[in-house]
Structure 1
Amino acid sequence: MKDAFGTPQSLLVLGGTSEIALATARRLVARRTRTVWLAGRPSPALEEAAVQLRSLGADVHTVAFDALDSASHEVALGKVFAEGDIDMVLLAFGILGDQSRDESEPLSAVRVAQTNYTGAVSAGLICAKALQGQGHGSLVVLSSVAGERARRANFIYGSSKAGLDAFAQGLGDALHGTGVHVMVVRPGFVRSKMTAGLEEAPMATTPEAVAAAIETGLRRRSETVWVPGALRVVMSALRHVPRPLFRRLPV
């Protein structure tokens, strides 16, 4: 169960090598989180992440999880919930893709969509059902400001995040009153390995800043978190720009 301050004592990370997820895990472990499950493809990076969190005092387990293998999700995630209640699930897996390549290679575009949306729908529903069975818990979904309005520069990634965002919001409405809290997190450009080499967008942020916003959102039981917060106003304005003008913007 969460403690009196709203900090989860147990955490399941879907996307166990995500820099944002690990920054969040480190922050929560520094508070009162004691049990962490890192779900991801078996790799040295996943094991290294587990070792780092153990060094902070957490009891850390790894579980094999592949976002693209939806047929395996129920068994893989069922093993985690069978070990005991999970206070928080952080759905953090996703890929950026390469817009120019993905436009010319449809199968690459499909992989982005299947990872960011289809895989998330599968894992999200399974975890939501388990949390509902417990009668408590938070499902935190990493979306993106890119999902607010598809831009020419990254409309494949953006459309996959738009689908994920809508799914998470609808899931939150469906679970309202059950004791399960769903929070959608919409970061802007995050300085990370995934964005290395890309031109930095205005109001760029860091994994640590996103982690801090997630912790604050959990404490407040927020439903939507923007990182940084000013992006809420910026994206609201951008969303209402007439399409002919929007096409001319350097976005």
Structure 2
Amino acid sequence: MKDAFGAPQSLLVLGGTSEIGLATARRLIGRRTRTVFLAGRPSPQLDAAAQSLRRLGATVTTVDFDALDPASHEVALGKVFAEGDIDMVLLAFGVLGDQARDEQDPLAAVHVAQVNYTGAVSAALVGATALQVQGHGSLVVLSSVAGERARRANFIYGSSKAGLDAFCQGLADAMHGSGVHVMTVRPGFVHTRMTEGLEPAPLSTTADEVAAAIELGLRRRSTTIWVPGTLRAVMSAIRHLPRPLFRRLPL
């Protein structure tokens, strides 16, 4: 159960090698979290991530999980929830893709959509249902400001996040009153391995800053958070720009 301050004592990270996921786990372990499950494909990277969290004092278990195999999600998450209550499920997996290449390769574009949207929909539904059965808990989903309005530079990735974002807003409403808190996280450009080599966008952020925003959002029981917060106003303005003007922006 969460403590009196709303901090989770147990955490399941779907996407166990995600830099944002691990930054969030480290931050929460520094507060009250003592039990962590890192779910991902078996790899030395997943094992190393688990060991790094154990050194911080948490009990960490790795779990086999494949976003591209929705048929296995119920069994994979079921094994975790069979161990006891989970206070927070963090959905932190996703791929950026390569826009120029993916436009010429429909299967590559579909891969982005399958990981970021269909795989996430499956995992989120399974996780939310398990939290609902136990009667409490938070489902935190990493979306992106890229989903606010499709841009020429990354509309394949952006459209996948737009779908996920809309899904999570509806899921939050569906879970209202059930004891399950659903929170959508909309970071801007985050300096991680996934964005390495790309030109940073204005108002870029870090994995640690996203983790801090997630912790604050948990305490406030927010349904949507922006990282950094100023992106809320910026994206509102961009979303309402007339399309001919929007096309002319270097986005």
Give matches, 1:95-106, under 5 Å.
Answer: 95-106=95-106
Q: Alignment RMSD, CA only?
A: 0.4
Q: By how many angstroms is 1:233 displaced?
A: 0.2
Q: By how many angstroms is 1:65 displaced?
A: 0.3
Matched, 1:38 2:38: yes
Q: Counterpart in 2 of 1:60?
A: 60
Distance of 1:101 and 1:201 partners within structure 2: 21
Give matches, 1:201-240, under 5 Å.
Answer: 201-240=201-240
Distance of 2:97 and 2:194 partners within structure 1: 9
Moved over 4 A (4+): none
Length, aligned pairs only:
251
Distance of 2:82 and 2:146 partners within structure 1: 35
Unmatched segments (≥5 aa) in structure 2 = none
Distance of 1:35 and 1:95 partners within structure 2: 27
Deviations 1:78-132 (A, max 9, x none): 1001111100000000000000010000000000000000000000000110000
**TM-score computed with the length of structure 1 as normaliser:** 1.00
Unmatched segments (≥5 aa) in structure 1 = none
**TM-score computed with the length of structure 2 as normaliser:** 1.00
Matched, 1:112 2:137: no
Deviations 1:171-222 (A, max 9, x none): 0000000000000000000001000000110011000000000000000001
Distance of 1:3 and 1:225 partners within structure 2: 22
Deviations 1:216-241 (A, max 9, x none): 00000011100000000000000000
Q: Counterpart in 2 of 1:78?
A: 78
Q: By how many angstroms is 1:7 displaced?
A: 0.5
Q: Counterpart in 2 of 1:91?
A: 91
Give SS of 1:141's match: strand
Q: Counterpart in 2 of 1:244?
A: 244
Matched, 1:180 2:180: yes
Q: What fraction of aligned residue pairs are identical, expressed as a percent?
A: 80
Distance of 1:119 and 1:200 partners within structure 2: 27
Distance of 1:137 and 1:151 partners within structure 2: 35
